[in-house]
Homo-oligomer: A and B are copies of this chain.
Amino acid sequence: MPASPIRKLVPYAEKAKKRGMQVFHLNIGQPDIETPPQALDAVRRANIKVLEYSHSAGNESYRRKLVEYYKRVGIEVDYSQILVTTGGSEAILFGFMSCLDPGDEVIIPEPFYANYNGFAVAAGINVKPVTSRIEDSFALPSPEAFERAITEKTRAIVICNPNNPTGYLYSSREMETLRDLIKKYNLYLFSDEAYREFCYDGKHISAMTLKGVDDHVILMDTISKRYSACGGRIGAFITRNNTLYDTAMKFAQARLSPPSFGQILGEAAIDLPVDYFDHTRAEYLKRRDLLVSRLNKMPGVYCPNPGGAFYAMARLPIDDADRFAQWLLEDFSYRNQTVMVAPASGFYKTPGLGKQEVRLAYVLNTKAINKAMDCLEAALKEYM
């Protein structure tokens, strides 16, 4: 089982803080946006006498409410097609375990969310990467690249849209390419849409809206980023394939139920004013524009403009981002401050790729981002 590449630098950050340093955390997707107070209030007001197990698929009231939410974002589903999970993490695990046998393969465009690897190990399956490139802004690799990766053991393709770690938002044409591939090769498409609400330069195309592939598509969702509610641990596994749903339900029944408090929060959040996401999106957009423009002004740095999520991948004029990230925490200081980044190597499956790249999460306010960029700029000068 591989260790989390995002969390492995944590001990160095802890030591830096103990030395009195201020560390700007651009390394992890923990939003600083406030959890909607109305949703938190619903948990406070809940009249609970016995904190019971919920239905293994989640409270029916919450699932019915989720249907409304999905309808608003253009996804038609029935509540019986929704399985509430313990975070998006569990939706991924249920997906892998329900669709693949040990030894089977999934294809994932790299760089990809590193924990897919962990869940693949847990399910005993193998990840085959197809490489997307920073020069192409991390667009979807060509159909031919996918076809070269497909073997007789391939059962599924996993995408994250908009993408973590690249921020890339797949176009309507790219989604159609994926649809054609899964149809032609009879594959499942796992679509992780955790960042659906955060698209800046285009429209989000959900895999659930692709035509003719209802039995192939699994939506893996979460309220963590949408409502800045990571600690609620509430996600969803959604599919129109009834047989697959029933299989996932068996795994859901074994673990009894998803967390009750988080479901209350998630249900209440669906009643937020319809312009709720406008404010959050505007805030992230401001941050993205600042971050990307600051990065591209630094000598030797290249950062494509990400269309969604709250991540940017930047290529730095360095030889080894893992070493650089550690150096930032151990040996560097600018006005007693430093910055923590996620080295990209952990997001690539192909050894040696991404050594010059880092992922930056713009989950801090613009003032902090400016200070973090001051640090990074000074650090790059000093490091070279």
Chain A interface (Cβ < 8 Å from any Cβ of B): 1-4, 7, 30-35, 40, 43-44, 48-54, 56, 86-87, 89-90, 93, 97-98, 102, 115, 118-119, 122, 124, 228-233, 247, 250-251, 253-262, 265
Contact = CB atoms under 8 A, between A and B. Distances in A.
Contact of A231 (B44, B53, B233, B253): B53
A259 B257 contact: no
27 contacts: A1-B254, A4-B56, A30-B52, A33-B50, A35-B49, A40-B51, A44-B44, A53-B230, A90-B255, A97-B122, A102-B102, A102-B124, A115-B254, A115-B256, A118-B250, A118-B254, A119-B254, A122-B254, A124-B124, A231-B257, A231-B261, A232-B259, A232-B260, A233-B233, A233-B259, A233-B260, A261-B262
Nearest to A29: B53
Nearest to A103: B102
A86 B29 CA distance: 21
Contacts of A93: 255
Contacts of A255: 86-87, 89-90, 93, 115, 118
B232 A118 contact: no
A48 B40 contact: yes
Nearest to A86: B86
A86 B262 CA distance: 13
B256 A259 contact: no
Contact of A86 (B4, B48, B118, B259): B259
Given A31-B50, A231-B260, A232-B259, 7 more contacts: A1-B250, A1-B254, A2-B250, A86-B259, A89-B254, A102-B102, A232-B261
B50 A34 contact: yes
Given A230-B257, A231-B257, A251 B1 contact: yes
A64 to B, nearest CB: 17
A183 to B, nearest CB: 27
Contact of A3 (B33, B250, B265): B250
